[in-house]
Amino acid sequence: MSQPHSRRESLPPSTPATVSVFASPASWIESDALDQCQQVAALDGMIHVAAMPDLHPGKGAPIGAAMASTVLYPFLVGSDIGCGIAVFPIRLKRVVPERLAARFPDLDRALDPERDANDPAWAVVHCEIPAGHLEGLGTVGRGNHFVELARVDTVCDSGHAARLGLDAGDLVLIVHSGSRGLGERILRAHTEVHGAGPVSDPAAYLAMHDDAVRWGSLNRRLMAARVAYALGAEPSEPFVDQCHNLVEVHDGVYLHRKGAAPGDGRDVLIAGTRGTSSYLVAAHAGPDANHSVAHGAGRKMSRADALRRGRAKHTVDELRRTAVGSLVVCGDRQLLFEEAPTAYKRIEQVIADLVDHHLATPVATTTPLVTYKTPDLGPTHRPDRRDQRRKRGRV
DNA sequence: ATGTTC
């Protein structure tokens, strides 16, 4: 077993917080992200920072880290409070990716209780809408968010998979999304007064935070139902739904997760990329890892780099029809380059690091068939001037 | 990641 402390940085004696990086030397971790871990470790009240193998630099705080502290810092969770990944079983009669891709609903358009009163997706809502927040309900958002139809590929632990009711060849919907404008509003309200400082009233923040976590989970269920109906299937209960951006309170300690999934005995889907497999794992991370595991492959390049280098390296067509034969529904060219599989680390290495450090055990892999990002260029699309210029050139 | 955008 490789030691999680092999990369423990030397800390000034005045800083009691420890930093553990759960990655092998073979895994590339940007030094900026490690610097951010040290900056977090130096915050008042910080106890322990556990960095996952998908660690990469974020805005202020690193992404792919679980941070335990006696003080609650909203910026360590970020604006997308409640973001997570849910996996739903889905049964379809015919699986023709091209046909299915064309049937995905418009997940940029929110569900409106009045206008869409008859939408059957509302059936999955069994509670009040958290915070009464209707804006953006049922929408996927942007960035690394997606809704993916995938097929269970390799079953690594047949007993565990059977307990979940999963078998090789089964179809699933993977939904990665969060609390949209609600979480952003909650962080902004804090930041406008306190910046990156701690909350003065943890209970008040946590009440709003918990609403955003519930809203994010409900949003994933609503989207899964919208997609299931649109593809001619019935909605289903998720067998995995884990939030990787949140704060948990344990015995007076605030455990901030930022791109780090709960790893204490739960099953987690660790997302690959739009063009590579994802891994369903049984997570069993202990206190050294702040009870957390990775949440995905992790970015290897910044969005700006991915855009610049991707334009030289890829065509739009190869990003929309991937190496594994899956389709990517995405009418936003820039996003397509930013989210290119080559902009991410290899998911196999991330999983290997978790296994080597005894944080997780693979249960099954999934292979994408159709990944939805944002509505495709429709038949009514009229390219603007810039698009026309690109069309004549490479892109 | 988000809402907003002269």
Give DSSP secondary structure letters for A25-37: TTS---HHHHHHH
Question: Strands, DSSP E only, in A81-228?
Answer: 84-90, 146-155, 171-177
Query: What pLDDT score was predicted for residue A28?
Result: 84
User: With 90 as the cut, is the pLDDT of residue A60 above it?
Assistant: no
Q: Which residue has the higher pLDDT, A185 or A27?
A: A185
Q: Has A295 been labeled as part of a binding site? A: yes
Task: Give the list of residues 6+ apart from residue A276 with CB closer than 8 angstroms, or none.
Answer: A297, A323, A324, A341, A344, A346, A347, A368
Cα–Cα distance measured from residue A253 to residue A269, given in angstroms and rounded to the nearest whole number: 26
Q: What is the pLDDT confidence band of residue A12, given thresholds at 50, 70 and 90?
A: low
Q: How far is the CA of A329 from the C1' of B5 (A)?
A: 26
Residues A378-389 as b or e (16 or more Cβ within 10 Å = b)? eeeeeeeeeeee
Per-residue pLDDT at A392 exceeds 90: no
Res A377: pLDDT: 73
Q: Is the CB of A136 under 7 A from strand B?
A: yes
Catalytic residue selected from A295, A314, A357, A358: A295
In this predicted structure, the answer to whether residue A389 has a pLDDT above a threshold of 90 is no
Distance in angstroms: CA A384, C1' B6: 20
Residues recorded for chain A = 395
Please tell me the predicted confidence (pLDDT) of residue A388: 46
The mean pLDDT of A329-341, rounded to a whole number, is: 95
pLDDT digits (tens, 9 = 90+) for A214-251: 999 999 999 999 999 999 999 999 999 999 999 999 99
- Quick one: which residue's CA is nearest to B3's C1'? A181
Average pLDDT over residues A324-340: 96
pLDDT of residue A101: 97
Known binder of ligand: residue A284? no
Q: Is A245 annotated to bind ligand?
A: yes
CB-strand contact A176/B, under 7 Å: no
Strand B bases within 7 angstroms of protein beta carbons = 1-3
Ranges A1-5, A118-122, A147-151, A307-311: which has the least confidence:
A1-5
Domains and CATH numbers, chain A: 8-391 (3.90.1860.10)
Angle between the N-to-C axes of helices A180-194 and A202-230, in degrees from 0 to 180, rounded to the nearest 10: 160
Nearest Cα to Cα of residue A257 among A57, A50, A86 = A50
Strand B contacted by A83 CB (< 7 A)? yes
A277 is in an annotated binding site: no
Q: Please give the pLDDT value at position A10.
A: 52
Mean pLDDT in residue range A323-343: 96
d(CA A261, CA A30): 20
% helix / strand / coil in chain A, to the nearest 5? 35, 25, 40
In whole numbers, what is the pLDDT of chain A averaged over residues? 92
**Cα separation of A213 and A187, whole Å?**
13
Q: Is A295 a residue of the active site? A: yes
Nucleotide nearest to A178 (CA to C1'): B1
Residue range A41-66: mean pLDDT, rounded: 96
Residue A204 has pLDDT above 90, yes or no: yes
Any atom of strand B under 7 A from CB of A241?
A: no
Nucleotide with smallest C1' distance to residue A303 CA: B1
